[in-house]
A and B are shown apart, each in its own frame.
Chain A
Amino acid sequence: MKDITEAKQSEEALRKSESNLQAIIENTDATIYSLDTEFRYIAFNKLLHKNMQQIYGLDIKIGDHVFSFLEKLEVEEANGWKEIYSKAIKGETVKFEKEFTIGEFHSYHSFTIYPIRENKTIIGLSCFAYDITNKKQEQLQKEKMSVDLIQRNRDLEQFTFIISHNLRAPTANIIGYAENLLDEKLTVEEQKEFLKGLSLSVATLDTIIKDINSILQVKREVNERKEVINFSNLVGDIMVSIGNIIDKHRVRIRPDFSEVDEIFSLKVYMHSIFYNLISNSIKYSKPNEQPLIEIKSKKENGKIILTFKDNGLGIDMKTKGDKVFGLYKRFHSHVEGKGMGLFMVKTQVESLGGKITVASEPGKGTEFTIVFENIT
C-alpha cells in the first residue's frame, strides 16, 4: 500500500515538473527542442512544431526521428545537418546561422546545439534557434547601403575629374581667344580667326555639358520599363544602322546566341551597349586586317554572360588597364572619337546591375565580358 502511494506521488511530481518545463520552453520566442542519442525528439515547443509544418509540411511527434525532415532537403543540405548533429553528440557545442526559404519568404535563424550530459555521458542534445531575420535584413541593407555609397562616391570623383579637366579645357581656350580679341591692333583676319576659335570652343563646352547631362540621365532612367530583348534582332538592327561603316571596313560580325537569345532588360541601354562595343571594335581595328567581331551569349547559374571579341589593335592592359572605361580616354590618336563610348557602356551595364571586364593584348585584340546576374 505504502509503495503504491509513493510511486503515485513521484509520478505526480514528475508530471508537475514536466509541465513546468514545458511552460518554460513555450514562454519564449526561441525554437527549442531536445533529442536523444538516436536523434529522436524528447521534447519540443510549439514554435518548432509550427515551423516544421510551415517549412516542410511535417507534423512532428515526440519520438520522431529528427532526420525525417532531411529527405525534404537537397542532399548537400541534409548532409550538413547530419554533420552538425554528429558533432554535437560527440560533445561539441555547435553554433551557426541558417537561411530558410519558403516561396518568396526568407528567414534567418541562429542555432545553438548543446550536448546534454548526465555525469560524464552524453545522453542527448538540447537545441535552440532564434529568429534573427530582422537583424540579418538590417545588416544586409547596411551592406547594400555601403556599396551604394561607395559607388556614389566614385561617381562624385568622376564628376570632379570632369569639371577640373574636361570643362576647364574649352574654358581656358575661351579665355585665351577673348583676351586676344580685346587687342585693338588686330587685323581683320586675326579677328576673324579668333572669333572662329571662340565659337568652336563654346561649341565644345556645350557638347561636354550635354554629355554630362546624358550621363546623369543614365542614373535616373533605370526604373523605366524593361522588356524582352532579342539579341539576334538587336545585332541585326545595329548592323543595318551602321551598314556603311561595316561595308567600308569590310567588317565581319559573327554572332552566336544559340545558348541564350533573349534578355529581360532596358532596350535603350542594351542597344547602346551593343552599339558602342561594336563600333569601338571597328574604330580600333587593324588597318591591314579584316575586322572580325565575335559576339557570344552564355547562361551560367542564372547569369547571362555576353562576350565581345575582336582582332583589333588591342590595349596595353599594364599601362592603360585602369583607364579603359574612363571618360574622355582614348588610346589611339589616329582615330576620331570623344572617348565617351566605353564610359557610357560601363555606366549602363552597372545601372542594369551587371559587371563589365576587359582582357586585351596589343596587336592581338580585345575581349569585353559582361555578366548580368539574376536575370529571368
Chain B
Amino acid sequence: MTKARKRFLIVDDDPQNNSLSKMALKRSLGEVLVNDFVIPEDGLEFIENEPSHNPPDGKTTLFLDINMPTMTGWEFLEKFKTFKPSLKEQYNIYILSSSVDPSDIKRAHANPLVVDFIEKPLSKATLVKMFG
C-alpha cells in the first residue's frame, strides 16, 4: 500500500515563486504531489479534464495567484465556479499573492470559494499551521 500523499496545484505566472512554494511544501510535508501552472488556462484545463485524480486523503490544495497576464485569479475563480460540484468539492483554494493591498485581502475573504489569503512567500510556518 502506497503512503497517502497530499496533492497540490499551484497556479502562478511567476516560475520563481512556484519553485519556492514547491520547496517549502517538500521541506514542511515531505514527499507531496505538486503540479504547477504558469498559465492559468492550463490549470483550469487540467482540473476539468482529469477528474479521476482523487487525492488519497480527500482534498487537493490549490494555491492561486491574483495578478497574471491572461487571466487574473478572480477570473480563474469565476471560471472554476462553473465546474460541476463533484469537481469543485475536491479542492481547497487559497489565494497565494505577494499583494499587500488590503482590498485584495478583503476580496479574497469575501469569496466563498476561497479558504484563506496567504501572503507570499509560502512559508514552513504557514504550512505547519495549515496541516499540523
Seen from chain A, the residues whose Cβ lies within 8 Å of a Cβ on chain B are 160-161, 164-165, 168-169, 171-173, 175-177, 179-180, 183, 197, 200-201, 319, 328-333, 339
Contacts and interface: CB of A to CB of B under 8 A. Distances in A.
Contact-residue bracket for chain B = 20 to 34
Contact of B120 (A160, A172, A329): A172
A331 B39 CA distance: 11
A339 B17 contact: no
Contact of A179 (B67, B69, B121): B121
A164 B120 CA distance: 12
A147 B60 CA distance: 51
A183 B27 contact: yes
Interface in B97-132: 98-101, 104, 119-124
Contacts of A177: 20
Contacts of B39: 333
Interface of B: 13-14, 16-17, 19-20, 23-24, 27, 38-39, 67-70, 75, 98-101, 104, 119-124
A201 B13 CA distance: 15
A111 to B, nearest CB: 51
B17 A333 contact: no
A169 B14 contact: yes
Contacts of A330: 69-70
Nearest to A180: B23
18 contacts: A164-B100, A165-B99, A169-B14, A171-B98, A172-B17, A173-B120, A176-B120, A176-B121, A177-B20, A179-B121, A183-B27, A197-B19, A200-B16, A319-B75, A328-B67, A331-B70, A332-B69, A333-B38
A175 B121 CA distance: 7
Please list the 7 inter-chain residue pairs (A to B) with the smallest Cβ-Cβ separation, ordered nearest first: A176-B121, A172-B120, A330-B69, A176-B20, A164-B101, A169-B98, A172-B98
